[in-house]
Amino acid sequence: MDDPNAVNSLIETPDASPVEGRVRWSPLLSLWNGGMLGAALTLGPLTFSLAALAIFIATTGATLLLGHSVGFHRRLIHRSFTCPLWLERILVWFGTMVGMSGPHGIIRTHDLRDWA
């Protein structure tokens, strides 16, 4: 029988090292992120309203707190609480709206970070 504590998304590579590595700069990603920042700083003040700020706070709370922290991390990855399947799916859906990755990508990233 397989080890129930095994991390299934990791593949052992003999020459892999969590200490040695290299940072690679991507000019295209820098341009993309810089463009998004520039657009936000330029257009944000033109479209600001208190109603938009309230919607931002509410959706950020729903996606980051309920979705990413509770749905993805506490429930999907660690199974630290029980809940009905419909609630788990809603929480995971909120987590997906964060935009970092889907459920499989989050589990893989978490496993790489915690088990490397």
Per-position DSSP letters for 47-60, written without gaps between them: G--HHHHHHHHHHH
**Is residue 27 domain-resident?**
no
46: phi then psi, degrees, rounded to nearest 5: -75, -25
Structural domain contains residue 66: yes
Number of domains making up the chain: 1
Q: Do residues 105 and 112 make contact, with C-beta atoms less than 8 angstroms apart?
A: no
Domain of 53 in residue numbering reads as 48-115
Residue 6 pLDDT? 57
What pLDDT digit, counting tens, does each position of 28-83 carry? 999 999 999 999 999 999 999 999 999 999 999 889 999 999 999 999 999 999 99
Residue 34 forms part of a structural domain: no
What pLDDT is stored for residue 101 in this prediction?
A: 86
Quick check: is 5 in a domain?
no
Residue 95 maps to a domain: yes
**90-107 average pLDDT score:** 90
In a domain, 7, yes or no: no
Residue 93 domain-assigned (yes or no)? yes
What pLDDT does 10 receive? 60
The pLDDT score that the predictor gives to residue 20 is 78
What is the per-residue pLDDT for 58? 94
Cα separation, 75 vs 56, in Å, equals: 25
User: Does residue 17 fall inside a structural domain?
Assistant: no
Record the pTM.
0.63
